[in-house]
Amino acid sequence: MRAFRNGIYAVVSLTRHPRDKMLTRGRHKMSNGYFFEDLHIGQTATLSKTITEANINMYSAISLDTNPIHIDEELARQSRFGGRIAHGMLPAGLISALLSTQLPGPETIYLRQSLAFKAPVRIGHTVKAIVEITDLNLSRKSATLCTRCMVKEDVVIDGEAVVLVPTRI
């Protein structure tokens, strides 16, 4: 399934069992995601976004990270990167968006996230975030996911997330 909203492409594997129809858990209704009971190892989802100058400027303002490597082209040209680069946490935020909106989906709670930044992301790059379930912990109702961000065929961020997943019960 592929959707386009607010400049973001989202692709979800066809192996999902989404809460497309509003499901009720107690008094709370949920949609667009999975309960723990619906997850399986190997399940994946992706989300893509093209990074713009406006994204970088807004992220700088919100995060208070005004490192010139992100916002000053002249100074950045003299750096090891030869020009401006996006804040590392900007594309990493796509992983968070993916976990909280698609897989597992709404009501997912982060417990842990590791990130290894492998290559810079630049204005105009389209970043594709990918998550894949690698382990399910029945007693904690948690999932471990391989998390990755790609620009074309290059891995720019590699990591692992552990999240709590909502249950039907």
Dump pLDDT digits (tens) for 10-49: 444 434 344 444 444 443 445 679 999 999 999 999 999 9
Whole-Å CA distances, 128 to 48, 58, 141, 166: 4, 20, 27, 25
Domain for residue 27, yes or no?
Answer: yes
Provide the domain limits for residue 17: 2-51+92-164
Domain for residue 100, yes or no?
Answer: yes
Q: In a 10 Å sphere around its CB, with 0-12 CB exposed, 13-18 middle and 19+ buried, how is residue 136 labelled? A: middle
pLDDT at 31: 60
Phi and psi, residue 150, nearest 5°: -125, 150
CATH number of domain containing 47: 3.10.129.10
pLDDT at 168: 86
Number of structural domains (the chain) is: 1
Domain for residue 118, yes or no?
Answer: yes
User: Maximum CA pair distance of the chain?
Assistant: 58
Domain for residue 61, yes or no?
Answer: no
